[in-house]
């Protein structure tokens, strides 16, 4: 890879993801894991990873978010409807026992959102999906790179409907227009609106 290659948004988010998954790892270990996931043994380099980690740690120290504190009923329950509390408590137990995680306020809120649509699913599935959404949200906040959750949304759709989506169809969905209608569709709509307005003025 050429020297001085810029760290992209996706790579910055991957560094943050690996750091959050392994907060006790040194920069060299995080770099090795990032290189492995990118299937590139030489990029990004150690110094680039160290710079990104320094930014992440600075942001967490300077602006700690109460959403990332451990959740409990007594400490934080705002944003969690009473009807969702049984699912949140089950997820709290499941996450602490099986994922060995603190289970944060952010994660509790995601469980509360998802338990209604995934009401017929076991708590392990609800917890896993909620933790994925919470982790993506946290990474976006840490890096300042906000991005879509299309992949998580597809997984959620398949869980809700029981429908399997082929890799080809998944590619079409993920690579489709990201911001509403395509330019061609918008031009057609603008043209139609203009014609209607001109008709009214006559």
Q: What is the pLDDT of residues 10-27, one digit of tens each?
A: 898 899 989 988 888 999
Q: Note whether 88 and 123 are within 8 A (CB).
A: no
Q: Note whether 91 and 127 are within 8 A (CB).
A: yes
Degrees, nearest 5: CA angle 66-67-68? 90
Q: How would you class 91 by CB atoms within 10 Å of its CB: exposed for 0-12, middle for 13-18, buried for 19 or more?
A: buried
Give me Rg for the CA atoms of the chain: 22
Q: What residues contact residue 173 under an 8 Å CB cut-off, 6+ apart?
A: 150, 154, 165
Q: Which of helix, strand or coil describes residue 104?
A: strand
Q: What residues contact residue 32 under an 8 Å CB cut-off, 6+ apart?
A: none
Instruction: Give pLDDT, residue 146.
Output: 76
**199 vs 156, residue with greater confidence:** 156
Instruction: Give pLDDT, residue 190.
Output: 64
pLDDT in tens, 35-93: 999 988 888 989 999 999 998 888 877 777 888 889 988 876 677 888 899 999 999 99
Instruction: Give pLDDT, residue 15.
Output: 92
Instruction: Give pLDDT, residue 2.
Output: 45
Percent of all residues in the chain with a pLDDT value above 90, rounded to a whole number: 31
Closest by CA position to 30, among listed 13, 57, 50, 56:
50
Q: What is the mean pLDDT of residues 172-183?
A: 64
pLDDT in tens, 125-157: 999 999 999 998 998 888 887 777 777 888 888
Instruction: Give pLDDT, residue 128.
Output: 92
Instruction: Give pLDDT, residue 6.
Output: 82
Phi-psi domain of 45 (left: phi exceeds 0; alpha: psi -120 through 50; beta: other): beta
Instruction: Give pLDDT, residue 176.
Output: 63
**Domain assignments of the chain as residue spans, ordered by start:** 9-64, 67-160, 172-202
The mean predicted confidence, pLDDT, of the chain is 83
């Amino acid at each position: 890879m050429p020297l001085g290659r810029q760290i992209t948004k996706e790579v910055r988010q991957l560094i943050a993801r690996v750091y959050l998954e392994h907060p006790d790892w040194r920069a060299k270990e995080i770099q090795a894991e990032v290189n492995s996931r990118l299937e590139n043994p030489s990029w990004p380099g150690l110094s680039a990873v160290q710079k990104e980690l320094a930014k992440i740690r600075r942001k967490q120290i300077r602006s700690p978010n109460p959403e990332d504190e451990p959740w409990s009923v007594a400490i934080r329950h705002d944003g969690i409807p009473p009807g969702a509390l049984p699912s949140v408590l089950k997820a709290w137990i499941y996450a602490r026992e099986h994922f060995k995680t603190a289970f944060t306020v952010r994660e509790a809120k995601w469980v509360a959102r998802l338990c209604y649509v995934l009401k017929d699913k076991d708590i392990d599935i609800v917890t896993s999906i909620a933790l994925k959404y919470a982790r993506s949200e946290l990474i976006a906040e840490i890096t300042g790179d906000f991005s879509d959750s299309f992949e998580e949304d597809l997984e959620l759709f398949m869980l809700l409907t029981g429908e399997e989506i082929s890799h080809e169809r998944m590619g079409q969905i993920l690579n489709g227009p990201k911001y509403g209608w395509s330019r061609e569709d918008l031009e057609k709509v603008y043209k139609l609106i203009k014609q209607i307005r001109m008709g009214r003025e006559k």
